[in-house]
Structure 1
Amino acid sequence: MNFTQFHNGNNMPSVGLGVFRVENNDTAKDAVKHAIQSGYRSIDAAFIYGNETKVGEGIAEGIKAANISRDDLFITSKLWLDDYGKNNVKEAYEKSLNLLGLDYLDLYLMHWPGTDADLMLNTWEGLEALYNQQLVKNIGVSNFNIDHLDILLNKATVKPVLNQVEFHPYLTQTELRNYLNKHDIKMESWSPLMNAEILQDEVVNNIATEINKSPAQVIIRWNIDHDVITIPKSVTPSRIEENYDVFNFSLNEEQMQQLDALNQNKRIGPNPAEFNG
């Protein structure tokens, strides 16, 4: 297993399981449990996904089945826009903890910057309070552009450890990655496989054939080799295992360049500059 170290000295697994668009039923529970049994130690949840209850059950069953402790896992959730505002953060955090059946989170993120800079800053103060009271191990942001980060870093007393954004070979976010590197904030990619769209790409498939790996493994390894944490989503046991079997190879410079050259600045999600829930 690979770890990435944050600026505060804490570590996060480089690959985790995403659960976006997974129903709040045994499919979610079984996927999380199987991931933990297969070696995953990072699970990425969010209140707005509406499945924290079953994800939590999967965490509990996975801990038991893998014979590990809660402290061996790294669990993320996210604050939704409806709960923004400094005075709402703690209650929303506790709501997610209750749904997940946990005592603490390893990482709590602002899910989107929103379109109100003052509200964004006010909300971040609420996350800082959670962190300063040692109620959460790490705090970060999601879907923040450079403009949002400039505003935040100008006022923040606790710097985010991470920015979770859309990132794949069709959206390489080079400027944002360079900015995050400069400020020692890690990047994490959501939906790295583009809902399987990128797996049809000819270049991706040619590289997969060259190195005898699957297209998904190529993309996940491309993330790792760019020092980007990633959380591919799957509910299929064989794919969950395949997506994690990426630590015994790396891509060479030419292959990385071929994948980088696929950039089209193409998003499958909303534009963070405009999205407000």
Structure 2
Amino acid sequence: MAPVPTLTLNDGRAIPQIGFGCWQLSDAQAPDIVGRALKAGYRLIDTAAIYGNEAGVGRAVREAGVPREEIVLTTKLWNDRQGRDETRKAFDESLKRLGVDYVDLYLIHWPCPRQRLFVETWKAMIALRESGRVKSIGVSNFTPENLAVLIGETGVTPAVNQIELHPHFQRKAPRADDSRLGIVTESWSPLGQGKELNDPAIVAIAQAHGRTPAQVVLRWHVQLGCVAIPKTARPERIVENISVFDFSLSEAEMARIAGLDRPDGRIGPDPATFC
């Protein structure tokens, strides 16, 4: 298997371009499934407090036989814990459930703009990073408008912005804004929760390369310069999803996928109105 390339964050740390997403994994499943992912070569593991599986994910990280310093472990702060004091408490709870001394990447899960707390929350996360218990801090589902407020109020730019991104919802404007600010864009639901895999254009490109549709879509994310965190509980797919670094898509194929973008392609909530 070809090695997984990394991107350099704006704080100097590195993040692999393909990681393992833990959404919808139960806490009981997580030790085995995440352990398999680590043994298959994944070094970026993405969970969140709301997923309810931090304990199982942490057990996998501790027991997989992979040096802790090689793993980029991500978790996220849920919406009802925003605010200075709640952020600190929630982080302590996540760290305890994970059973580790530090988290590599801590994200604000959603901006929840109507709460008017994400700037205060971000200041608390800056303090957590300064304490050394978090190595990098970032956000998830932040719009360019949210980022402008966050950076303008604190002077600290997130290392990562994790957003919904897949061929039918390509987020060109947010990606361009992230790039302008030096923020790495990380794609959640990179396979469109499976909806992308039957698209005739993607199927045709996969057949031309002797690859699966999922591999083509993940390779597309890589060539965009993004990080992708596919989730699967199937052992064969765990290996398949990380095996995308020994082929490439042509400019014509990238352009063909670019043509799949749709204004109504969103699957998840709209960050402008969610919570």
Fold in common (TM above 0.5): yes
- For residue 106 of structure 1, report the CA deviation from its aligned partner: 0.4
Task: Find out whether 1:112 has 2:110 as its counterpart.
Answer: yes
| Residue aligning to 1:272 | 271
- For residue 116 of structure 1, report the CA deviation from its aligned partner: 3.0
One-letter identity of the residue aligned with 1:21: Q
Distance in 2 between the 1:202 and 1:105 partners? 40
Give unmatched runs, 5+ long, in structure 2. Answer: none
SS at match of 1:106: strand
Distance in 2 between the 1:260 and 1:191 partners? 17
Runs of 4+ in 1 over 2 A off after TM superposition: 115-118
8 Å contact from structure 2 (residues 106, 136) kept in 1: yes
SS at match of 2:23: coil
- For residue 157 of structure 1, report the CA deviation from its aligned partner: 3.0
Distance in 2 between the 1:118 and 1:124 partners? 12
SS at match of 1:267: coil
1:15 to 14, 18, 29: 18
SS at match of 1:138: strand
Distance in 1 between the 2:34 and 2:75 partners? 14
Q: Greater shift after overlay, 197-206 or 148-157? A: 148-157
SS at match of 1:140: strand
8 Å contact from structure 1 (residues 131, 138) kept in 2: yes
| Residue aligning to 2:217 | 219
SS at match of 1:89: helix
| Residue aligning to 1:38 | 40
| Residue aligning to 1:135 | 133
8 Å contact from structure 1 (residues 108, 138) kept in 2: yes
- For residue 165 of structure 1, report the CA deviation from its aligned partner: 0.3
1:54 to 53, 56, 80: 56
| Residue aligning to 1:241 | 239
Distance in 1 between the 2:115 and 2:10 partners? 25
SS at match of 2:11: coil
One-letter identity of the residue aligned with 1:6: L
| Residue aligning to 1:122 | 120
One-letter identity of the residue aligned with 1:53: A
8 Å contact from structure 2 (residues 157, 181) kept in 1: no
8 Å contact from structure 1 (residues 143, 164) kept in 2: yes
SS at match of 1:123: helix
Residues 25-104 of structure 1: pairs in structure 2 closer than 5 A = 25=28, 27-62=29-64, 64=65, 68-104=66-102
Distance in 1 between the 2:239 and 2:152 partners? 42
SS at match of 2:117: helix
Q: Please provide the CA RMSD for this pair.
A: 1.0
Deviation by residue 1:2-44 (Cα, 9 ceiling, x = unmatched): 101011111011111001011121x221110000000111100
Distance in 1 between the 2:248 and 2:60 partners? 31
Equivalences, count: 271
- For residue 117 of structure 1, report the CA deviation from its aligned partner: 6.3
| Residue aligning to 1:207 | 205
8 Å contact from structure 2 (residues 102, 132) kept in 1: no
Distance in 2 between the 1:39 and 1:59 partners? 13
2:176 to 175, 178, 189: 178
Distance in 1 between the 2:156 and 2:87 partners? 16
Deviation by residue 1:83-139 (Cα, 9 ceiling, x = unmatched): 100112121111111111111000000000002363111111111111122221000
8 Å contact from structure 1 (residues 143, 165) kept in 2: yes
SS at match of 2:76: strand
8 Å contact from structure 1 (residues 167, 189) kept in 2: yes
Deviation by residue 1:23-76 (Cα, 9 ceiling, x = unmatched): 121x221110000000111100100001111111222221x2xxx311110000
* TM-score, L = length of structure 1: 0.96
**Percent identical across equivalent pairs?**
39
Distance in 1 between the 2:213 and 2:63 partners? 30
